[in-house]
Amino acid sequence: MRIISGEFKGREINFLKNSNTRPLKDAVKENIFNILKHSNKIKIKIENSNILDLYSGIGSFGIECISRGAGKVTFVEKEENAVKLLKENLLNLSIISKSKIFDSEINEILTKKLKEKFQILFLDPPFKNFDYFQNLESIKKNKLYKKDHIIIIHREKNSKEDIGKLLKIILIKNYGRSKIIFGRFN
């Protein structure tokens, strides 16, 4: 797995070789960043943004954001081996100062520990996990987003959940088995 663009372009990051996590494929990640940069429907810039990376795994999305100039990334991941590799990746790239890691249940973090607001919120839950609805409700209730924000959700292409009840959907793109949903709170 590699960093696609920015300061650390071409650098490799460690990833898990097990079935507990599903790394974000480089092609999908690249398409997300192309949409963020070039879409006239999305006005959020990565540069200097405060980013929340939920279900972050080994951190490939957040690390890519830092490589592209993000101000700070908050990573939330509870799987112990993924957190260990995430920390290694941040240390290997010397970007630990631009990050914060929480290694416990996401909703606990969203309701009790986070007080800051984010411009970009990325959720990449396991495809069989629907807890992210509760996560979105907590983010909205606790106002953990800036006025200008974007929420990006990575789901399985054939998933049928009605996310439009929680978000104003801006764009949905399919890439292979993946569906990327771009939205915002009203």
Cα–Cα distances in Å, from 89 out to 9, 16, 22, 174, 185? 14, 12, 17, 28, 32
Position 152 pLDDT exceeds 70: yes
H or E element at residue 25: none
pLDDT score recorded for residue 129: 84
Average pLDDT, the chain: 92
Among positive and negative, which fits the CA dihedral 77, 82, 86, 87? Answer: positive
For the residues 161-167, what does the mean pLDDT come to? Answer: 88
**% of the chain with per-residue pLDDT over 90:** 78
The domains found in the chain, sorted by start residue, are 26-184 (3.40.50.150)
- Token representation of residue 55: 């279900």
Tens of pLDDT, residue by residue over 64-115, are: 999 999 999 999 999 999 999 999 999 999 999 999 999 989 999 999 999 8
